[in-house]
Structure 1
Amino acid sequence: MNLSTQPKKCLIAVCGKGGVGKTAITAMMGRVLVESGKAGKLLLIDADPAMGLLTALGVKVRRTMGQIRENIIETARRGEEAEKVRLADTLDFMVLEALTETDDFALLAMGRTETLGCFCPVNDLLRGAIETLSRSFDTIVIDGEAGLEQINRQVIRRVGVLMVVSDATSRGIQTAELIHRMVTHDRVIECGRIGIVFNRVQGNEALLRQAAEGIGLEIFGMIPQDETIAYHDLIGKPITQRPAASPALDAVRRIVENVILTDCRGNSREGRKP
């Protein structure tokens, strides 16, 4: 098999403090992966109940994992044994119903839940769905919810690449440090490679490199502040309909080539620079 053309299975999770631009970066990575033609079958997972990735990609879904959870809760409340057996037998099919396929990629949305309480059951369901669906896709990119919730609850148990996004603030960097500690010291998940992406950078690159070095995080890349991206976010224009040339998109292209495609295609990392 020629590794330069045949991707191996690769799972990438994007996490970080809320408001640092994880969803926009995930959407841009999805676009770049499609354009590269090197990702194989691509699955994007919107694991944030706010479902911002759907808007960023301009995709509408028929069903979410949260709606499936509601179905399960209602069935359990009725207490009808035959219905519970039927539900158990058709759970995989229900998950497939929540999968939205486009010409270029497939999308799975976690969605909201109407029942009061934590998202733990939905997270468990999502984890099972990821494990099941991963067998059918070559590259999977997960847009995680803000903060440490899903990592702390081990929604994502094993990833090839963990991409920690931070803006150029001490709060963003502190969250990145906490995530790094949870992965490397507490070992809440298995991770092949972990690194940081600094977003909306406006100078101070040396200080950011120093901060990453102090944490012990590899720098996957730095994405500059891009007014074109900010404007299109404001008017709600999907990533797929935006101009091909922009400083932020160019930076994401370098990250995809140097990090994701390097790992997914099994190429050597030697000579790669963030």
Structure 2
Amino acid sequence: MSESPTSSKRLLAVCGKGGVGKTTFTAMMTRILIEGGKAGKLLLIDADPAMGLLNALGVDVRRTMGQVREEIIKTARRGGKEEKIQLVDMLDYMALEALSEMEDFALLAMGRTETLGCYCPVNELLRGTIETLSESFDTILIDGEAGLEQINRQVMRRVDTLIIVSDATSRGIQTAGLIKRMVQSDRVIQCEKMGLVINKVQGNEELLEQFAREMGLEVFGYIPQDENIAYHDLVGKPITELPAKSPSLVALRDIAKNLILR
């Protein structure tokens, strides 16, 4: 994993409704951060229970934070006082066990939560542990759910930049506007900067820009429809292995350059 220093820590979160290419975007952004050489120590957090980022990157994990959460809840329900104290003391170690170290990045998958109900103290413990773990990294990139609740409850209280991904439709951009309003109402994660990336674009940028303005959204950039992505999805190849000159990668390099690689 790269050890080159960065000028400051970056916390980035990606969200968007299902089917817009959010996870593909995160996988491509991972490649670009590594290529740019300015990410330093890079931590990826897959906060979407579907864990599609693992497939997009072509990696696997031994353990998820969801499994850690289940252990905590089980002990809290049935364990004695001594067991509960020991469990809290072991949380950092358990999180490290769930951290998968790759050559160029580390990955933490939140996974699914099987136990239903409100476990706010458990979520706060996990969030604190993840925030402590994140201090060892220069860049943190989070692939989140559309509604951001999973990030807010169990991952981070705030990020520097929130990237909302939409497809090239008015409905998609309306959903992005809803996410923006949720953030502004302090119901979900806090961020310093927020904007829209419109994916799968086949022209009509001016009209899409107009839709975004109506939602009060800054457009970070446009990513064109890319047949290479469709082929990689069809045959099950990792998105990180896209040809270097794929239209989507070329466009995203420009977005990343203006947004985070300056």
| Same fold per superposition (TM over 0.5) | yes
Query: How has the CA–CA distance of structure 1 residues 119 and 30 changed in structure 2, closer, same or farther, with 3 Å as cutoff?
Result: farther
Deviation at 1:236, TM superposition (A): 1.4
- Partners of 1:30 and 1:198 in 2: how far apart? 18
1: CA distance between counterparts of 2:243 and 2:133? 32
Flag structure 1 segments of 5+ consecutive residues without an equivalent: 263-274
Distance 1:126 1:171, change over 3 A: farther
Structure 1 pair 249–112 and aligned structure 2 pair: CA distance change class (3 A): same
Cα distance, 1:113 vs. partner?
2.7
User: Residue in 2 aligned with 1:54?
Assistant: 54
Match runs of 1:1-274 below 5 Å: 6-117=6-117, 124=124, 126-150=126-150, 156-186=156-186, 188-262=188-262
Q: Deviations over 1:32-57 (max 9, x none)?
A: 10111111110011001110001111
Residue by residue over 1:190-242, the C-alpha shift from the partner in whole angstroms, topping out at 9 and shown as x without a partner, is: 31111100000111111111111222221111000101111101221112333
Unaligned runs of 5+ in 2: none
CA contact (8 A) 1:199 1:224 kept: yes
User: Which one-letter code corresponds to 1:131 in the other structure?
Assistant: E
Give the superposition deviation at 1:79. Answer: 2.5
Aligned-pair CA distance for 1:189: 3.5
Distance 1:212 1:191 in 2: 19
Which sits farther off after the overlay, 74-83 or 17-26? 74-83
- What is the CA distance between 1:109 and its match in structure 2? 0.1
Task: State how far apart, in whole Å, the 2-side matches of 1:59 and 1:122 are.
Answer: 28
Aligned partners of 1:161, 1:10: CA distance in 2, in Å? 8
Letter in 2 for 1:231: Y
Change (3 A) 1:27 1:8: same
Look up the equivalent residue of 1:201 and give its one-letter code. Answer: V
Structure 1 length-normalised TM: 0.87
Paired positions, count = 258
Give, as a single letter, the amino acid of the residue that structure 2 aligns with 1:204. Answer: N
Q: What does the per-residue CA deviation read over 1:100-131, in whole Å, with 9 as the maximum and x for residues that have no partner?
A: 01110000000123334579777545532431
Superimposed CA distance per residue, residues 156-201 of structure 1 (whole angstroms, 9 cap, x where no aligned partner) = 4211101011111222111111121222344743311111000001
What is the CA–CA distance in structure 1 between the aligned matches of 2:151 and 2:91, rounded to whole Å?
Answer: 24
Amino acid at match of 1:191: C
Counterpart residue type for residue 30 of structure 1: T
- The 2-side partners of 1:241 and 1:123 are apart by 35
Instruction: For residues 118-152 of structure 1, give each alpha carbon's deviation from its aligned partner in whole angstroms, at most 9, with x where no partner exists.
Output: 79777545532431122100100000013343367
Instruction: Evaluate the alpha carbon distance shift between residue 256 and residue 122 of structure 1 in structure 2; reply closer, same or farther with a 3 A threshold.
Output: farther
C-alpha root-mean-square deviation of aligned residues, in Å? 2.1
1:122 and 1:248 mapped to 2: Cα distance?
40
